Structure 1
Amino acid sequence: MAKKTKTLLCVDDEHDILDILSYNLKKEGYTVYTADSGDKGIQLAEKIKPDLVILDVMMPGKDGLEVCKAIRNSMFIKDTHIIFLTAKADEVDEIVGLEFGADDYVTKPFSPRKIVTRVKALFRRVELRKELTDDKKSVIKISGIEINRINYTVRVDGMEVKFLHKEFELLYFLMHRPNMVFSRNNLLHHVWGEDAFFVDRTVDVHVTKIRKKMGRYGNMIETVRGVGYKFTSNGNF
């Protein structure tokens, strides 16, 4: 049975960039839609439910971060994958982007080949995770934290708490391997993928947010000084 064609949505206020993205991605067999504003992008995303949104950060009106936030808050498209396009490559932009739940980013100016490579790499990671999921526990419960990989939910003392996609993946990875220590580079590799390009602080930012959402169980994610993190199965509450 042939695989379903992936649907992509490109959102950028520069029509030349939209034309370049559309032409090169269609050549690779993807179904591509475009929108030249944040508002149009949100409306179209709700309508077509794309597999991936390629999203410019700096746009007049509703910018890329606002569009990303709207997608993540939507009941129907919250799990859509997102790649940011940005003219700034400094660490602050990277961290902010990741906090909003992006999967990857590409800096402008970019080559069409680079975009195509990143898109293919993202979908490879997605397929690999699906294959690996079959060998993993669907539900893990340690103390008052329960994580469910089937419906992507996290419960703290029985109450559901909203986690962004990467927060969920990071927490699941650690809970699936309790008391094992992982370096920041290992976590970046396993959770974001070897083709993603992020900084060590990315992990720190996500751990801080996860701990806060875990409430009194936040200390179950221990910092191992000079190494990284581990999820301990015997925290103090």
Structure 2
Amino acid sequence: MSQELHHAAMQRVLIVEDEVDIADLIMFNLQRAGYEVLKAHDGIAGTEIAIRERPDLMVLDLMLPGRDGYSVFREVRRDARTAHIPVIMLTARAQTEDRIQGLEAGADDYLTKPFSPKELVLRVNAILKRADAPPGAVEYEFGPFRFDKNSVKFYLENEPLDLTSTEFKLLLFLCERSGKPQDRNDLHRTVWGYSDEVHSRTLDTHMKRLRQKLGAHGAIIETVRGVGYQVASLVS
């Protein structure tokens, strides 16, 4: 077993999906990629397993018996023990509004059925890889922002501010390259591990959430028309 595969085998993914065939298909592909897999087929069991087992990532269907996926997501995010677990939402709802709602709730990624199991595994790999990346310098400061790369914690004017792992990665990437416009495709590849123009609204939704969370400081994230985004350089 390769070192990368061995490492993946130490990571656990929780699948919360009521359709047994789909859950089994996802489990088969994740296990083949080297992950340990937990499963739940309703929202109540999914919440309990997530809080008890604290998996490294959740694949969460939205249409669930007992407790819908959005309710599960809110419970997991509300509990300090599970608040930072990355979540990929999975649903048959293909409408843009549903995808945006999921991302605005704070999900790290979103896939609609039918989906490619290989694509799902690639997205799981990308999220867990960036969560496990060697931090380099432990802390990085940019104006009123402070990033703790070891704990993936963010501070605004020395006060903790809750960011998802994706939001943290996006803002850090932009701040480290302040004053330089970052192409949308580059942001997708760096933060999500793939470039997907079909789901480009994912990036826009995360930027919208970041600006909202940063409040008065949100204006530092600038839209560069026809290119992507940048963080403005600090004025000396």
TM-score (norm 2): 0.83
- Matches for 1:55-94 after TM superposition, within 5 Å: 55-94=60-99
Unaligned runs of 5+ in 1: none
Distance 1:49 1:129, change over 3 A: closer
Unaligned runs of 5+ in 2: none
1:184 Cα offset (Å): 2.4
For 1:79, give the aligned amino acid. Answer: H
Q: Distance in 1 between matches of 2:197 and 2:65?
A: 27
1:87 Cα offset (Å): 0.8
Distance 1:19 1:156, change over 3 A: closer
For 1:10, give the aligned amino acid. Answer: I
Q: Distance in 2 between matches of 1:129 and 1:52?
A: 10
- Matches for 1:56-205 after TM superposition, within 5 Å: 56-110=61-115, 114-124=116-126, 126-127=128-129, 130-131=132-133, 133-134=135-136, 137-194=137-194, 199-205=199-205
Distance 1:126 1:196, change over 3 A: farther
Match of 1:15 in 2: 20
For 1:186, give the aligned amino acid. Answer: D
Q: Distance in 2 between matches of 1:17 and 1:185?
A: 30
Distance 1:144 1:190, change over 3 A: same
Match of 2:216 in 1: 216
For 1:178, give the aligned amino acid. Answer: S
1:121 Cα offset (Å): 4.4
SS in 2 for 1:102: coil
SS in 1 for 2:222: strand
SS in 1 for 2:199: coil
1:231 Cα offset (Å): 0.8
1:117 Cα offset (Å): 4.5
Distance 1:158 1:61, change over 3 A: same
Q: Is the 8 A contact 1:219 1:235 kept in 2?
A: no
Q: CA RMSD in A?
A: 2.7
Match of 1:232 in 2: 232
SS in 2 for 1:105: strand
